[in-house]
Amino acid sequence: MIEFGKIYNENCLETFGRLPDSFIDMTITSPPYDDLRDYNGYHFPVEEIAAGLFEKTKEGGVVIWVVGDRTYNGSESLSSFSHAFAFHEAGFRVHDTMIYAKNNPIPSDCGKRYRQAFEYMFCFSKGQPKTFNPLTIPIKQEKAFKSFRITKVGRNDLAHDHVAPKERKVNNIFFYNVGTSSSKDKIAFEHPAIFPEQLVEDQIRTWTNPGDTVYDPFMGSGTTAKVAGLLGREWFGSEISEEYVELAVRRLEGRKTGSAASNSG
């Protein structure tokens, strides 16, 4: 049986073997994809991982899969789309293709291309998502308005007035700072590719409720563990590198005396 609050130092495929079926409410992760060399060349069988996650995800659960493409000889690797097809093939719905846009992308020349400033945040769902707590922004308009429909003879007012909504859902392009402003934990930057903490917070709040189970199969520096814990979710993870598990554990120990991700509560 699985232990919550633990990062298993193993291949995520081995962790799947510990889990009962339909166990996870939400997975959020950024897979190694094109960076195999930076992670000591661990094999990355995306079809097997997608099938395993499908089996272990509850009906209505989601996987947030944050992925980009490497550029080889001036064109893109297409890892992102091949992963989306693999998850679809495994049985997931592609519920929403969201964008993680970077306020401060790494400066680079990019040849005959514009500067790369985003990654995909695929939301794969097992059936219809069971939880959706959308992020919202206030709307300024305050007047009540009448409902109407357009008929063959023109505009036809309906009987009732509506109170104007005070807020609306945000768009599906989320903007975050990357680099040193994406976490206050200096130690986290010993890992080469960490998540912005706010990204993880926004996604966990959207797709889960307190007490739900959150999993990260590629835990890296432990960002998912830190944020899920602060938000009162049960969490566990996998990380194949012993060095990164040690790093994540040190980071999590530090957070007991440090500050929370912003807006938590």
Ligand X SMILES: C[S@@+](CC[C@H](N)C(=O)[O-])C[C@H]1O[C@@H](n2cnc3c(N)ncnc32)[C@H](O)[C@@H]1O
Residues in contact with ligand X by CB under 6 A are 11-12, 30, 32, 39, 42, 44, 191, 193-195, 217-218, 220-221, 223, 238-241, 244
Q: Which one, 60 or 77, has the nearer CB to ligand X?
A: 77
SS3 223: helix
Token pair of 140, please?
Answer: 């300024």
Q: Bridge partners of 256?
A: none
Phi-psi region of 184 (alpha: psi -120 to 50; beta: other; left: phi over 0): alpha
Q: Bridge partners of 151?
A: 154
CA atoms of 8 and 239, how far apart (whole Å)? 6
Residue facing ligand X at closest CB distance: 220
Shortest distance (Å) from residue 11 CB to ligand X: 4
Contacts of residues 105-111 at CB distance under 8 Å and 24 or more positions apart, as own/partner, are 105/178, 106/178, 106/179, 110/71, 111/74
Q: Which one, 13 or 93, has the nearer CB to ligand X?
A: 13
Shortest distance (Å) from residue 237 CB to ligand X: 9
Q: Which one, 39 or 175, has the nearer CB to ligand X?
A: 39
Q: Which of 94, 73, 74, 72 is nearest to 83 (CA)?
A: 94
Shortest distance (Å) from residue 39 CB to ligand X: 4
Q: Which one, 194 or 214, has the nearer CB to ligand X?
A: 194
Tokens 């846009």 correspond to 101
Shortest distance (Å) from residue 198 CB to ligand X: 12
Q: Which one, 135 or 193, has the nearer CB to ligand X?
A: 193
Shortest distance (Å) from residue 149 CB to ligand X: 48
Q: Bridge partners of 67?
A: 120
Shortest distance (Å) from residue 67 CB to ligand X: 9
Q: How many residues appear in the chain?
A: 265
Q: Is 264 exposed, middle or buried (0-12, 13-18, 19+ CB in 10 A)?
A: middle
Q: Which one, 61 or 217, has the nearer CB to ligand X?
A: 217
